[in-house]
Amino acid sequence: MLHGIDLVIDDGEIVVVVGPSGSGKSTLLRLIAGLETPTAGVVEVGGRPTGSGVTPGVSMVAEEPGLYHHLNVEGNLSFPLLVRGDTRDEAHTAAQIQANELNIGSIVDENPTRLSEGHRGLVATGRALIRPEVEVLILDELLAHADIALRERVRQTIRDLHQRRGPTVILASNDPTEALALADRVIVLAEGKVQQFDPPMTVYRDPDTLTAADLISEYPINRFRGVIRSGDPARVVAGDTRIHLPRRLGDEYDGTQVWVGVRPEDLTPSGHGVDSGVKADVMRKTFVGSQTEILFTVRGQPFEYVALVSDEVPATGTVGFTVTKPLLFTDDGRRFRPESGAM
């Protein structure tokens, strides 16, 4: 169920809807497509209300694309044109062009049952776009079942297609990488409510809520509760953890309980002294190629730290970290924003 959704998506944008399972992503997409009717308010596409069947100019590809198994790839692509009365030659030519645009020209004679999940998604996308009047393309979890290599190829194909044809693309995903790689703007959805609607870098670096910070991240954001101590500089104190804040806070904020969110890359090894900002016990060190994952605990809470230089952190023992960009949130998970700016 969705609550209080109020969004305006601009023509030609690529918008990625990110959220966990059950957050309302598919419902939102079906409302935009006109496949469901809102219980209150109105959904408009191009100034036309939706909700009375398929909306003109809008095509949607569901997570299970429902290709016709008795037809090959070309047959699936050309089917919408044949239904509307195009000749076979016209439909054949359009299907070939569409297949080439989507980099699937080499599989036009294949049966969909023999294709990977990612390629079936591309065929369904081509079928949705084959009609030139399509202005809005809605993709529900298009890459949910594709492997990593194919995901990147499909993302590149969508970017290239968008650059050539310029439709508005609205794509639902539970993969933050997809949002960061594809989106002009990201809708972060949780429990049926919009947490944030901004460019992906804004959501990543300036999240409005702790939930948004968690969802637009390869790693869950490290978090712990602390108390603000005013001064210059101000700091957050939690036991023997001391995190200096980037600006001064007045006495009116002294004693305020906050959540501190810390992205792994915003932790810097600072040695083994007790005066370090975060004192941590290393639990596990895992080399994963371009970086090293460090699992450690702070006051009994698990953190994840990603180090770009593997030799900086020992495999065991107590280590100090400095937090370079702390993110502060209120008790209810909203960004702590003092009068003179975000924190």
The pLDDT, as a whole number, for residue 341 is 63
The pLDDT, as a whole number, for residue 49 is 80
pLDDT tens-digit readout, 248-257: 888 899 999 9
Judge whether residue 40 has pLDDT over 70.
yes
Judge whether residue 182 has pLDDT over 80.
yes
pLDDT tens-digit readout, 229-242: 987 788 998 887 88
The domain ranges of the chain are 14-215, 222-329
The pLDDT, as a whole number, for residue 339 is 72
Least confident of 85-99, 112-126, 306-320: 306-320
Domain spanning 222-329, CATH class? mainly beta
Residue 66 phi, psi (nearest 5): 65, 50
pLDDT tens-digit readout, 186-227: 999 999 999 999 999 999 999 999 999 999 988 878 888 899
According to the per-residue pLDDT averaged within each range, which of 35-44, 77-86, 146-155, 290-299 is highest?
A: 77-86
Judge whether residue 290 has pLDDT over 80.
no
279: helix, coil or strand? strand
Question: What are the angstrom distances between the C-alpha of 126 and each of 90, 121, 258?
Answer: 16, 9, 48
Domain spanning 14-215, CATH class? alpha beta
Q: Do 182 and 16 contact (CB within 8 A), yes or no?
A: yes
Q: The tokens of 312 are what?
A: 């900086």
The answer to whether the 14-215 and 222-329 domains have the same CATH topology is no
Output the pTM of the full model.
0.87
